[in-house]
């Protein structure tokens, strides 16, 4: 099988890869850098969401190129990681396996359609994240003895600023559990491409108004680093031992589409 790991802030550890090779994948949306490797019989691709050196703000990430590249490479399963602020139903240090999202972005292209004569497509998002992959991630969490939250709603904001306490209070009322800046439009584009896609959110800080002091990117990086070992264990177990029953509906999202 082919796996892809999309890394956010601080998730760039490729020490569990073998036969590493840097690839440049040509897409309709520009060239995308991907690290290719092997583990056993599986091929793995690692994609740095913010580009090398974390040079792109959340609003300027090449989401369309990144997801297009993974589709072009024939990836079977995409595991995205995100650093998030905790709003409710979680605490700092928790891993949250997302099942829903709320979109508060403003200036991002969130579809492949409506361009180049493709017309308008209204894609179903009842189940935004792959049920098969989410289930496999939960089994790996249990096997590795790692405490996790089995579901959560991700609120995506435009960034790059952190949110205000008033905004966080609104998100809490609306049912948001964690807040971040990158999962949309990534999850939407993955669905349009018919990819099996799931997200592990790492709660690296409490959101504004819930935290006791001012927010800082340094805190995010430090807590991300402290959680990296557990994340690595889960990903290794998923790749080595994951059981993937074909009970999801992800690929069927392509039935009325012709993207590639």
Residue 117 belongs to some domain of the structure = yes
Residue 260 belongs to some domain of the structure = no
Residue 230 belongs to some domain of the structure = yes
CATH of the domain at 158: 3.40.50.1580
Query: pLDDT value at position 13?
Result: 57
Residue 259 belongs to some domain of the structure = no
Distance separating alpha carbons of residues 170 and 189, to the nearest angstrom: 26
Residue 71 belongs to some domain of the structure = yes
Mean pLDDT of 100-127: 87
CA 70 to chain centre: 13
Residue 18 belongs to some domain of the structure = yes
Number of domains in the chain: 1
Distance separating alpha carbons of residues 83 and 206, to the nearest angstrom: 11
β-pairing, 2-7 with 77-86?
Answer: parallel
Residue 9 scores a pLDDT above 90 = no
- Cβ atoms of 52 and 7 within 8 Å: the answer is no
Show the domain range for 134. 2-254
**Which residues contact residue 174 at a Cβ distance below 8 angstroms, ignoring those fewer than 6 apart?**
102, 155
pLDDT band at 255 (very low <50, low <70, confident <90, very high): low
Tell which wins on pLDDT, 109 or 184: 184
Residue 232 belongs to some domain of the structure = yes
Mean pLDDT of 120-131: 90
- List, for residues 162-177, the tens digit of each pLDDT value: 999 999 999 999 999 9
């Amino acid at each position: 099988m082919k796996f892809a790991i999309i890394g956010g802030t601080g998730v760039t550890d490729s020490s569990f890869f073998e036969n590493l090779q840097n690839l440049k994948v040509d897409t309709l949306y520009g060239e995308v850098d991907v690290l290719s490797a092997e583990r056993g019989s599986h091929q793995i691709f690692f994609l740095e969401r913010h580009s090398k050196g974390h040079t792109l703000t959340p609003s300027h990430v090449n989401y369309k190129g990144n997801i297009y590249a993974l589709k072009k490479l024939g990836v079977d399963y995409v595991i995205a990681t995100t650093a998030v602020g905790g709003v409710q139903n979680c605490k700092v240090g928790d891993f949250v396996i997302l099942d829903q999202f709320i979109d508060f972005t403003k200036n991002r292209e969130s579809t492949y359609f409506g361009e180049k004569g493709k017309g308008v497509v209204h894609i179903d998002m009842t189940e935004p994240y792959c049920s098969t992959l989410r289930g496999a991630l939960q089994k790996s969490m249990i096997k590795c003895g790692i405490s996790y939250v089995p579901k959560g709603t991700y609120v995506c904001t435009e960034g790059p600023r952190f949110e205000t306490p008033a905004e966080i209070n609104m998100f809490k009322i609306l049912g948001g559990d964690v807040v971040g800046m990158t999962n949309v439009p990534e999850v939407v584009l993955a669905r349009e491409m018919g990819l099996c896609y799931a997200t592990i959110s790492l709660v690296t800080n409490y959101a504004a108004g819930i935290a006791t002091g001012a927010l800082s990117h340094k805190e995010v990086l430090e807590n991300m680093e402290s959680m990296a070992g557990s994340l690595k264990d889960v990903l290794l177990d998923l790749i080595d031992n994951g059981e993937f029953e074909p009970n999801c509906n992800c690929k069927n999202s392509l039935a009325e589409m012709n993207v590639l």
